[in-house]
Amino acid sequence: MKKFFEQKLKVETIKNGYILPLKKEKGGVIDSNKDFVNLSYHNGEFFKFGGTYNIPKHVEFVDDTIIYLGVFIKQWGHFILDSLSRAWFINNFSSYQREKIKVAFIKKDKPISGNYLEALKLLGIEENNIVEVDKPVKYRKIIIPQMAMNAKHEYNNEYPKIFKTMISNAKIKDIVVPEKVYLSRTHLRKARKNEFGEINIENNFRLNEYSIIYPEEKSLAEQIAIFQKSKEIVCLNGSIPFNVVFSNTSLKLIIINKTSIPHLNIKVLSKMEKITPVYLNGYIEPFKNFPKTLGDGPFILTFSPDLVKYFNVRNYKYTSDDGLTKVIYIKYTIACFKFLIKDCLRKMRTKLYTIGS
């Protein structure tokens, strides 16, 4: 049997089928008999859903053909891994055809906008042809492509072509970028709540003529230009290095770990793009079992011995202060308590939800 990378991905066409929004971890596509179509099951690493449920007798009918692309997740890493996993199928159409095709996403919470919308436009999809499904809808024809990235950290050879298309369509010729870049998270609202200490790391790279860039303040075309044209990029582990899918193979990528929890997806995507990142630890973990996950945190970042050694080898300038203060420890402790309270409330809601169902 061929490896997943080499397999021909499946495509299934459903006539007079329905697209169902998320409901109790169910949703996806059902056929005219209202049976769940297994190919529409979302088999992500952390997020899985699929299945049928009772729908109203009278459902809106749209006399059109639509391509089912799964669920839209407004978190950059999961958008690249999950929401774009079926988008390889778009490459089967000519640029002329892409202007006419319609695609459907299940709306999970927030609407498609900003760089998420720009990503779809760079695939050749017109904005007015993007449908966000938040109620059951019946279509004359639904095309379901198989996911090109699976929960085993395996990708099909169609998957990297998604990003090659975006790079090709991005107008980056006239975008000027620095040779050495530090991509900072210090302007992110979420990071300010659960990540403490990055500013000292950032400042030390600034001392060595790295340009500080806040990626969320840049268009996707500008971000693509950075990963295509810069010679060296430094960033924290997390969503930022997912942009390695847009990188030039000569890029030197330095990823600073903010936790001991391994981030396997970045290693897979880097290998896919023939990039070998340098990994440096830049964290401390004062409390056992914190952080709980790669995304939730909280995190304490520091100019660690690992970074000091890296700077010394390169004769870089740096301040000897690790950047850790009593205020940081207090904020971190409060964030840990808040997480415990939220986690407790979440478990209580899940228990009540299970009893109720």
What tens digit of pLDDT does each residue of 110-156 get? 899 999 999 999 999 999 999 999 999 999 999 999 999 998 889 99
Cα–Cα distance, 357 to 349 (Å, whole number): 12
Q: 167-174: long-range contacts at Cβ-Cβ below 8 A with a sequence spacing of 24 or more?
A: 167/224, 167/228, 167/246, 169/122, 169/123, 169/124, 170/122, 170/220, 170/221, 170/224, 170/225, 171/221, 172/221, 172/222, 172/224, 172/225, 172/228, 172/229
Cα distance between residue 260 and residue 201, in whole Å: 18
Please tell me the predicted confidence (pLDDT) of residue 191.
Answer: 80
49-59: pLDDT as tens digits:
999 999 999 99
For the chain, residues with pLDDT lower than 70 are 1, 349-357
What's the rounded Cα separation, in Å, for the pair 143 and 198?
A: 45
In this structure, which amino acid lies at residue 230? S
**Token couple for 258:** 């903010």
Q: What is the DSSP letter of 89?
A: G
- CA neighbours within 13 Å on the CB side: how many for 134? 8
CA distance 209 to 179: 10
Boundaries of every domain in the chain: 11-169, 180-339
Helix and strand totals (H; E) in the chain: 10, 16
